[in-house]
C-alpha cells in the first residue's frame, strides 16, 4: 500500500459513519416561507374598520389645529409609516 492508498483508508476510517439527512417537511417549510401572505376577508374588514375609525378620530382630535400643524403632522407621519411598513414586510419575509 502506498501513502496515497494509506491516507485513503485512514480517511474512510476517520469519517463519521452517520450521514446527516434533511428533516421531513423541509419542502413544506420553505414553501410556506415564500408563499405571499394574503389577508382573509375578515382581516380585510377589520383593517377597513380600523382605518375609518382612526381617520375619524384623527380629524376630530385635529379639528382645532391650524393647517400648518396638520401639514407638518402628515409630512412627518407618512414617511415614518411607509418605512415601518416596508421594514415590517421584510421582517415577515425573513430578509
Where do contacts with another protein occur on this chain (CB under 8 A)? 3-4, 6-8, 10-16, 19-20, 22-23, 26-27, 29-31, 33-35, 93-95
Closest distance to another protein from the beta carbon of 22 (Å): 5
Nearer of residues 15 and 75 to another protein, judged by Cβ: 15
Closest distance to another protein from the beta carbon of 73 (Å): 35
Closest distance to another protein from the beta carbon of 86 (Å): 15
Query: Quick check: helix, strand or coil at residue 38?
Result: coil
The conformation of residue 67, written as its DSSP 8-state character, comes to H
Q: Cβ contacts of residue 39 below 8 Å, gap of 6+?
A: 47
Task: Give the integer Cα–Cα distance in Å for 67 and 31.
Answer: 49
Amino acid at each position: 500500500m502506498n501513502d496515497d492508498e494509506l491516507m485513503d483508508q485512514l480517511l474512510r476510517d476517520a469519517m463519521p459513519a452517520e450521514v446527516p439527512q434533511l428533516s421531513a417537511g423541509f419542502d413544506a417549510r420553505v414553501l410556506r416561507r415564500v408563499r405571499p401572505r394574503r389577508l382573509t376577508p375578515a382581516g380585510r374588514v377589520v383593517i377597513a374598520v380600523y382605518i375609518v375609525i382612526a381617520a375619524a378620530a384623527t380629524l376630530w382630535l385635529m379639528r382645532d389645529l391650524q393647517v400648518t400643524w396638520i401639514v407638518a403632522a402628515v409630512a412627518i407621519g407618512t414617511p415614518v409609516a411607509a418605512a415601518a411598513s416596508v421594514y415590517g414586510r421584510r421582517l415577515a419575509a425573513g430578509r
